[in-house]
Amino acid sequence: MKYKIILAACALMLPYGAWGQAELKEPASRLPGMAVPEPPRFSRYYFILGGGAAIPFGGHWGDTDAGFKPSPAITAAGAKKANEMLSYGLEASCLTGHKSRSVPEMKLRIVSFTPFLRASYQGSGKTYYGMLGAGIYSWTQPAFSAGGADHASDSGSSFGVNMGGGVVYPLWDGLQLGLDLRWHHIFTMRGENFDVRSADNLVPSVFCVYGF
């Protein structure tokens, strides 16, 4: 009789035991007092502001005796993400002054506006990317005096392309810090006082990104 009572009690407890196990199988995010982790932030738009150096290389433009010296470079861009991988936008850059090595009084400023396409992927907490851009590069040469002669100002524009890549590190909220290395090619660079045919610059830079 005693064993029958024990078996009956166990049979009555089985549903409650199964119910308890089902409750334990609930995800941790549903348990009282447990914080639900937020999904990674996806910024649909982002702005970039950066600075670096434009270093001439190759041909007459990059000649270490008769070419042009490096120039500070300032860059600003705005873009929209199509998805987690692809984005597109417009970049504006200003090279504040490439001084001639053979005629120190002559200086060239270059401003460019280039639409771009960027592909990126995330790994180990960082974002790696590659990008391709193309657009208009405009140069200006202020008036100067050299060798006892006055030279008038000059300007011109040419089509150009750029490509490169870099890495972006998260800081906080929508702010990030990035490193970029880019090659810029300007197809035509000639004026009244100079003719370097084409120009190539290697531009390393540091930039900040804000996404929203």
Domains of the chain: 45-211 (2.40.160.20)
Tell me the C-alpha distance between 175 and 82, whole Å: 19
Residue 37: pLDDT over 50? no
Convert the pLDDT of each residue in 156-182 to its tens digit.
999 999 999 999 999 988 899 999 999
Tell me the C-alpha distance between 79 and 120, whole Å: 13
Residue 85: pLDDT over 90? yes
Structure tokens at 188: 């035509």
Tell me the C-alpha distance between 106 and 55, whole Å: 17
Q: pTM for the whole thing?
A: 0.79
What's the chain's average pLDDT? 86
Structure tokens at 144: 């100067």
Tell me the C-alpha distance between 201 and 162, whole Å: 9
> What is the structure's pLDDT at 69?
97
Rounded to the nearest 5°, which phi and psi values hold at 180? -135, 145
**Number of helical H runs and strand E runs in the chain:** 1, 10
Convert the pLDDT of each residue in 178-197 to its tens digit.
999 999 999 999 988 889 99
> How far, in Å, are 64, 125, 129, 179 from residue 40 at the CA level?
48, 11, 18, 22
Tell me the C-alpha distance between 169 and 171, whole Å: 7
Structure tokens at 156: 């011109």
